[in-house]
Every structure is written in C-alpha cells, then in structure tokens.
A = this chain, B = another copy of it.
C-alpha cells in the first residue's frame, strides 16, 4: 500500500527476492514528487518487471483471521502473504500538545533557519520539524534524511552558541527503479503551479555519453523554469546511468539561481565514456524556450 519512495524501494527488493508484488496506490500514479512524464517511465519499468500496479484504488480493509490473507479495495480483493503499509510520514509530535511549542497544521515543529522553535532555547530538527526551502523561500515539510542530517548538525552547533542558518532544502531526492535511476531537485511542475509561478517546461531525451563510445543509454530530463527570467526552478531526470548524479549538477545550479542559458554554457567535463561535449545537462538547458 503506497507508491512513494519507501513503497517502491521495497517493491524492488521484493522483486530481487523473486516475489510477486502488487502496488495499491490511492492516486493515479506513483512517486508523486516527480511529474508524470517521469513516473510514466517508472511505471512502465515496474510493469516490465512483472509488478501489478493498481493505481487510483483505495484500500478498504484486510481479510484474514490469524494473519492477513487478502486486501480489500474499492475495486477488488487481492490475496496477500504480506502487506507493507508505506502510506506517508507524519511528525510524531503529539507529546508537544500543551507545551506551547508552535506546530504547523500537519504537526511539524515550526522552526527558523537556525532550528529555533518559538520557545527560547528549544531547538528542533529533522522529520519532526519543518525545513526552509531555498526556492520557495519559506518553510515546508520534506521528511528526508538529507535535510534531517544537515539540520541536526546545525541544531547542535547552534545550541552550542553559533548562529548558523540552513542554506535551505531543494527537495533533492533519488530512487532506483529496477534498471532505471530517477532523481529530482527543486520545484516540480505541480509545485510551480501550486505556487502560481509563471513557468515553462521542457522534457528532453538525450544520452549519458556519445554514441561513438560503447553502451550508450538514454537520459530523459525535465526542467521547470521561471518564464520571464529563465531561471531553473526544478529538474528531474530518469535513465539507466548517470541520471541521478546529473540531478546534483542541477541542484547546485538551482541553489545559485542560475538561468538555463547560463548552465547551458557552463564548462562541464567531456570525455566519451562519461559525457558528450554537450552534456545531457546542457542539451536540456539549451532546449528551454
């Protein structure tokens, strides 16, 4: 149950163990921090490896006496030996009720960029707390180990007397889906739409390295850019090789408010085993209208 990062990672592990796997997901697609151009490819990859994808389907109950024997949804009943619930993350902050510590609507502790709560000398960091977003320029909730580690270190340093501010999350994340790697950073198209940003997107297929070197594999890159300035707001990539590390290239570019035009001319490495003289990153940037 649930087609997020944890669900899909476990699906992959189950496939390796030779199990038959079904994903039941309430929404109409998996991995919703990615846009549909990428999740379409990820879903195809899972189906190709024998996964049953039940999208837009709601679990209504479990059947079984001693242990689970089947899952009941609004569309059918599916026999099961084991059910994994990977249906989201919620801050476990119930114990703060009545403490005076300010919480967001979802229960996450509200903190500033120094990890300070609204109560003097009380700090919070990690999946229980909000995190400052570099592109949104406001707090959001992204419960990932990346932010938790950095914010935890900052909380420690600041409790010890420093005033170091978190540079901000980009929501950078990656996952392996069978033979594909996927990564994302910055705003998705859905984020940009929700924030009422005037944006433009491209979705470009290129390759991890030039065709004149053996074993070329495809890379698809989606960019979300601010329309007026052509500033890169978000990037997503999927491919067999080198897709995820290229997301880090975009992460640093987005962190620095680079435009697609400037990144499209930045001096990235070229060598036949690794990248074309115009890298997949350049090609995507230079396709932005």
A residues sitting closer than 8 Å to B (CB atoms) are 134, 144-147, 149-150, 166-176, 181, 183, 185, 242, 244-249, 251-253, 255-256, 258, 262-263, 265-271, 273-275, 277-279, 281
**Residues of chain B with a CB closer than 8 A to A245's CB:** 242, 245-246, 248-249, 274-275
Q: Is the CB of A146 within 8 A of B267?
A: yes
Q: Is the CB of B274 within 8 A of A167?
A: no
Nearest B residue (CB) for A249: B248
**Chain A facing B: main interface SS:** mixed
Q: Is the CB of B150 within 8 A of A265?
A: yes
Q: How many copies does the complex hold?
A: 2
Nearest B residue (CB) for A243: B274
Q: Is the CB of B252 within 8 A of A263?
A: yes
**Residues of chain B with a CB closer than 8 A to A183's CB:** 269, 271, 274
**Residues of chain B with a CB closer than 8 A to A253's CB:** 252, 256
**Residues of chain B with a CB closer than 8 A to A181's CB:** 273-274
- With A181-B274, A249-B248, A252-B252 known as contacts, the answer to whether A134 contacts B267 (CB < 8 A) is yes
Q: Most chain-B Cβ atoms within 10 A of its Cβ — which of A171, A172, A266, A277?
A: A266
Q: Is the CB of A267 within 8 A of B168?
A: yes
